[in-house]
């Protein structure tokens, strides 16, 4: 279970205030998609949730426990980026195992986690390969698989498909939809600028502008009843 709560989150880089008091409540197991123009603060928000960047003020909690000051490794949060960030000199297996080894997990437990994750992402046959021997789509599946081995309660995706060509993007999107079904208790936040990804994956869509929420709602609510032209431009019906 992972009920994620973000309260009055503020984040500035120098004089630039990127997040200006951001509030969001994400019930356990919900799949929330963030959309919004480039530079509106989507990645900043994900990095703040993951603990990769300090914040100016505000708080983040999971199931009522304040995690605002915890280091990234203690938050139970995994993040997948646009670039796959695999270790090039390690096989797929060793990429999957690395974080588990660092966490001091026994070999037997590592094997259970890696087998389950490899099966889920259909990368079992690739375990002995090196990243350079994989397609972009396979690399991204390995990156997602690596995040899953850590059994996160919250999963963050930052435009995970945007480096893939159109066909791979569709295939990997379907993979992520499957993942959502297989991990119904895992809370997921997914950033994209692709309307199809947002409409097909989201339980709720959050439309951001200038570090603030313009509108939040179920995909069809936003599609049929956007609050304004800005939201309509991202999600709304062309009529």
Interface positions with Mg ion (CB under 5 A): 42-43
Angle among Cα 69, 74, 75 to the nearest 5 degrees reads: 75
Residue 42 binds to ligand ADP (criterion: CB under 6 A): yes
Tokens linked to 143: 């990156």
φ/ψ region of 2 (left if φ > 0, alpha if ψ in -120 to 50, else beta) reads beta
Candidate segments 41-49, 118-126, 137-145, 217-225, binder of ligand ADP by CB under 6 A: 41-49
CB closer to Mg ion out of 43 and 140 = 43
**Residue 67 binding partner per list Mg ion, ligand ADP, none, with a CB distance cut-off of 5 to 8 Å that depends on partner kind:** none
Query: Rounded to an integer, what distance in angstroms lies between the CA atom of residue 45 and that of residue 34?
Result: 10
Shortest distance (Å) from residue 198 CB to ligand ADP: 14
Residue 192 binds to ligand ADP (criterion: CB under 6 A): no
Distances (CA, A) of 75 to 20, 44, 72, 169, 237: 23, 17, 6, 29, 38
With CB under 6 A as the contact rule, the residue among 35, 41, 120, 215 that binds ligand ADP is 41
Burial (0-12, 13-18, 19+ Cβ within 10 Å), 109: exposed
The pair phi, psi for residue 183, each rounded to 5°, is -120, 65
CB closer to ligand ADP out of 100 and 206 = 206
Shortest distance (Å) from residue 36 CB to ligand ADP: 6
Shortest distance (Å) from residue 18 CB to ligand ADP: 4
CB 35 within 8 A of CB 217: no
Shortest distance (Å) from residue 80 CB to ligand ADP: 14
Angle formed by the axes of helices 136-149 and 107-121, nearest 10°: 140
Candidate segments 31-39, 68-76, 177-185, 222-230, binder of ligand ADP by CB under 6 A: 31-39
Binding site for ligand ADP (CB under 6 A): 13, 16, 18, 36, 38-44
């Amino acid at each position: 279970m992972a009920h994620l709560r973000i309260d009055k989150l503020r984040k500035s880089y120098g004089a630039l205030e990127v997040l200006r008091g951001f509030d969001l409540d994400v019930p356990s197991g919900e799949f929330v998609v963030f959309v919004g123009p480039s530079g509106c603060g989507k990645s900043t928000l994900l990095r703040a949730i993951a603990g990769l960047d300090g914040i100016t003020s505000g708080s983040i909690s999971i199931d009522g426990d304040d995690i605002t000051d915890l280091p990234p490794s203690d938050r139970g949060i995994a993040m997948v980026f646009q670039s796959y960030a695999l270790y090039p000199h390690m096989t797929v297996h060793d990429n999957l195992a690395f974080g588990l080894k660092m966490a001091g997990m026994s070999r037997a437990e590592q094997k259970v986690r890696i087998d389950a994750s490899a099966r889920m992402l259909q990368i079992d046959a690739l375990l002995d390969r090196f990243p350079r021997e994989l397609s972009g789509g396979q690399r991204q599946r390995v990156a997602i698989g690596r995040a899953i081995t850590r059994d996160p309660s919250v999963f963050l995706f930052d435009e995970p498909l945007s480096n893939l060509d159109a066909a791979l993007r569709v295939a990997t999107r379907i993979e992520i939809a499957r993942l959502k079904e297989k991990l119904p208790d895992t809370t997921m936040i997914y950033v994209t600028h692709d309307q199809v990804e947002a409409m097909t994956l989201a339980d709720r869509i959050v439309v951001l502008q200038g570090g603030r929420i313009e509108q939040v709602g179920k995909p069809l609510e936003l599609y049929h009843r956007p609050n304004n032209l800005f939201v309509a431009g991202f999600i709304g019906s062309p009529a």
